[in-house]
Amino acid sequence: MARSRLVGLAVLGTVGAVTATLALSTSSFAVAPATATATYDCGTWGSGLGTLTATDTGGVKKIKLTSTAITMPVGSSANPNSITTTLKVNKTAGGVTSEVQFSAKLNPAMSGGNPITLGPLSLSSGTIATGNTTNSLVLTGTPSATNWSLKIVTSSPTVATVYCTATTTQSSAFTW
């Protein structure tokens, strides 16, 4: 009788420890590679190489974009979290390609001539499952309201919309 109680307490203790560990852990999924580069044409904001950093934490997929080649125009500035950024990418799943979007209003304070930091941008349109890949949505022609891969909308202290086209695919597609 004492032995069965002891075994029962040991099992309960193990179950409790496992439950506590699971409750405290965050579900983080690897994205490979974690970073990639692509080239963007953003008109007056410049053109050149941007670094994309992808994360998947708890099923929340995000991409952050930074670039020293793309900068805010001289004489302009942006307050923290005053830029709404939308990034379109191609998703490939089972040989079928479609478009998904990442969007957010997250940025540090930036001033004219400074490199951009946008996001991290959360998946906002479409779905991405484990094993799907995403890559830059490459477009030709002048960036415009109907031809863009990246849209940057500033709201404070000034209002402006900047359209950008990806001119190259990523150095490596992201596999989620």
**All structural domains of the chain with their residue ranges:** 28-175
Cα–Cα distance for residue pair 157/136, rounded to 1 Å: 30
All residues at 6 or more sequence positions from 45 whose CB lies less than 8 Å from its CB, including other chains: 70, 71, 72, 73, 116, 152, 162, 164
Cα torsion through 115, 63, 165, 43, rounded to 10? -20
Q: Give tens-digit pLDDT for 54-97.
A: 999 999 999 999 999 999 988 888 999 999 999 999 999 999 99
Output the pLDDT for position 84: 97
Q: How much is the pLDDT for 28?
A: 67
What pLDDT does 80 receive?
95
Mean pLDDT of the chain: 87
Question: What is the spatial distance between Cα 56 and Cα 110, in angstroms, rounded to a whole number?
Answer: 26
Q: What is the pLDDT of residues 90-134, one digit of tens each?
A: 999 999 999 999 999 999 999 999 999 999 999 999 999 999 999
Quick check: 79 and 157 in contact, CB under 8 A?
Answer: yes
The CA distance from 35 to 58, in Å, is 19
Q: Which of 98, 69, 104, 99 is nearest to 86 (CA)?
A: 104
Picking from 53, 39, 55, the residue whose alpha carbon sits closest to that of residue 136 is: 39
Structure tokens, 56: 């998947």
Mean pLDDT check: name the lowest of 4-18, 68-82, 114-128, 149-163: 4-18
Report whether pLDDT(18) > 60: no
Cβ neighbours for 169, distance < 8 A, ≥ 6 positions apart: 38, 135, 136, 138
The whole-angstrom separation of Cα 163 and Cα 152 is 6
8 Å CB contact between 27 and 60: no
